[in-house]
Amino acid sequence: MGLLEGKKALITGGSRGIGRAICEVFAREGADIAFNFSASKDEAARTVDQVISYGRRALSYMVSVVDRIGVKEMVRQIISEFGRIDILVNNAAINRADNFGTMSDRAWDTVIDTNINGLFNITKPVFRQMVRQRAGRIINISSIGGMRALPTSVHYATTKAAINGFTKCLSREAGAFGITVNAIAAGIFDTDLGNTLPEKFRELYQFWCSAGRFGRPQELAELAAFLASDRNSYMTGEVIILDGGAIT
């Protein structure tokens, strides 16, 4: 029996990086997986194949988290197929290598819309379903960039700080319905998003990090699997730092 045997999970941004790793680990632990993606059908197909290889069901949807109507329809279809959604992982996010002084209005709006409005768009219909079920697990993927003064873009850091507040406040409301809400504040992981950071900072991070390296997506996925499981019956409203012991 896996940690998530028989569970139904929805992971946003599941076609690559951390999102794909979460899909794979959750499937290995016994969950059926639904995920959305916004670009590569080939990458999404790889995630589907990996989930199926564990003997679990896989549903994929090419819809952006900023498409509120499309997201609502996706959630409706998932519930129709799976019967329920036990776990939601809000992973989808974007970053742009912008300096605040030269940042365009469009760049600000794009990052805010994806990382914050997208979080609302997907969580609201799933949360309502979990309230009816009187059970659920919500995990938000945040960043240490929302907690510390790091050389990352201001709009990205702003969204991650907002996710931390969203997590803590929603956990208060969710607790009455048997729903836990937690966040994982990730350090630098070996992903496309992590590679957008300045090279000098990436080198310093590895030097000062206790683990001496960047994180691997599967390592974050393993923590997420525990948070999503029935073994985690008491932790909620927490922002858990997973950065390899970085000194920043």
- Contacts of residue 119, defined as CB under 8 A and 6 or more positions apart, other chains included, come to 65, 90, 140, 163, 166
Instruction: Give buried/exposed letters for 160-196 (b at 16+ CB in 10 A, else e).
Output: bebbbebbbebbeebeeeebbbbbbbbbbbebebbee
DSSP-assigned letter for residue 214:
P
Q: For residues 12 and 143, what is the distance between their CA atoms, to the nearest angstrom?
A: 16
| Sequence-ordered alpha helix ranges (H) in 29-67 | 41-53
Q: How many Å separate Cα 194 from the centre of its chain?
A: 14
- Contacts of residue 198, defined as CB under 8 A and 6 or more positions apart, other chains included, come to 151
Residue type, 94: I
Closest by Cα among 117, 140, 130, 107 to 18 = 140
234 is catalytic: no
Q: Which of 61, 156, 205, 234 is catalytic?
A: 156
Report the catalytic residues: 156
